[in-house]
Amino acid sequence: MFFLVNKPKWVTSHDVVDKFKRVFHGEKIGHSGTLDPMATGLLIIAIKRESTKHLGKLLWMDKTYITEIDFSILTDTWDMDYYDTIQKFEIVENWIKKDNKTIKAPSLEEIKQKLDLLIPECELPLTMFSAKKRDGKKLYELARQWIDLKLKQVMKVNSYEILDYDFPKLKLKLDVGSWTYIRSIWYWLGQQFDLWWTLTMLHRESIWPFKLK
């Protein structure tokens, strides 16, 4: 038995599982892959062992996200979730002031040229604020100890669509492979233009072939 859940913002994936446990007492329950608390969208819940044993297959399926960043904000977590430090840069028309210098906003065509380089795959920096494990410890646990392993990983991008661009905000639709981190894509893009950035919105539309709609 499977349920397709539209996870609301600031609710953890574990919270969703707990709600199902209150209804299906004593049954084994799992989900299709963690969504950050600030993220919204598709979370697949499996009920009973004959269903949960298939969850591993879902982890390897392609996924579609709607995502937005702000080039004028920087946090230590690369998003607006559980950050310790935040810095806001001054925007003057289409210029941003950063480290005693001004940087011109990239054009839409320049952004497209960079994003094209990600298809079909590219080695990208791996955010330390993720649930990925290294030597038995989750990376975000190491990050909280100020440990940065400078990890990189080949990630797959099938396609992208620019939904809106009003500097300093950029909104994309991304179709990506498994174990591709959206924050890694944004981090790389910011580096291309000497800009910092922060993820302000993340919404999962599908885990192929399962869709919210």
Q: What does the domain layout of the chain look like in residue ranges?
A: 2-59, 66-206
- pTM score, two decimals? 0.86
Q: Which among 176, 185, 167 is positioned nearest to 33, based on CA atoms?
A: 176
Angle between helices 182-192 and 108-116 (to 10 degrees): 120
pLDDT at 85 over 90: no
Judged by DSSP in three states, 213 sits in coil
| Mean of pLDDT values over 33-37 | 85
pLDDT at 20 over 90: yes
DSSP, collapsed to helix, strand or coil, labels residue 151 as coil
Query: CA 41 → CA 104, 178, 201, distances in Å?
Result: 34, 16, 11
Please identify every residue annotated as catalytic.
36
pLDDT beyond 70 at 188: yes
The DSSP 8-state label assigned to residue 100 in this structure reads T
Provide the pairing of β-strand 40-47 with 198-207: parallel
pLDDT at 167: 92
CA 53 to chain centre: 25
Place of tokens 């599908």: 206
CATH number attached to the domain at 66-206: 3.30.2350.10
* Among 107, 116, 146, CA closest to 129: 146
111-120, 139-148, 204-213, range with the lowest pLDDT:
139-148
**Band of residue 87 on the pLDDT scale cut at 50, 70, 90:** confident
Q: What is the pLDDT of residue 157?
A: 96
- Which pLDDT does position 149 carry in this prediction? 43
Interval 155-180: pLDDT, tens: 999 999 999 999 999 999 999 998 89
